């Protein structure tokens, strides 16, 4: 079975502080609620939530209709309507998602170019995904 890598996110470029605060996610809450809700539609899940961005990385079977499910789950986890979230998010898929993840890790997508804290925050998000059993073959390789 083939899989897709997706990154759904919002950041300082796509949403102001108030919007980012509304849709900020705590990793534990997101893992518990989204993992249950998304079930077999998502094989792997990692959440990065900082003051300037929220990103949800998912690995899912090709053609599983993951995109709308993730957006709906994110909105519900934030007690908001998906329509409020949709105008502010971006979606990267496949190689574009991998490229975006590396740019984030290197601080190239940060408000302050090259800021070093993002790599530590990304490592923490990965550790949390591993602890919850949501990082497997694909996320581990990234």
Active site residues: 51
Q: Exposed, middle or buried: residue 80 (CB in 10 Å: 0-12, 13-18, 19+)?
A: middle
């Amino acid at each position: 079975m083939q899989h897709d890598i997706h990154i759904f996110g919002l950041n300082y470029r796509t949403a102001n502080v108030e919007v980012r605060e509304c849709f900020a996610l705590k990793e534990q809450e997101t893992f518990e609620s989204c993992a249950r809700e998304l079930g077999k539609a998502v094989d792997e899940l990692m959440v990065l939530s900082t003051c300037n961005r929220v990103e949800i990385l998912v690995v899912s079977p090709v053609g599983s209709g993951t995109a709308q499910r993730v957006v709906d789950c994110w909105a519900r986890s934030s007690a908001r309507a998906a329509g409020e979230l949709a105008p502010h998010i971006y979606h990267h898929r496949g190689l574009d998602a991998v490229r975006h993840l590396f740019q984030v890790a290197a601080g190239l997508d940060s408000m302050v170019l090259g800021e070093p804290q993002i790599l530590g925050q990304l490592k923490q998000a990965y550790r949390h995904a591993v602890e919850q059993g949501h990082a497997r073959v694909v996320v581990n390789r990234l």
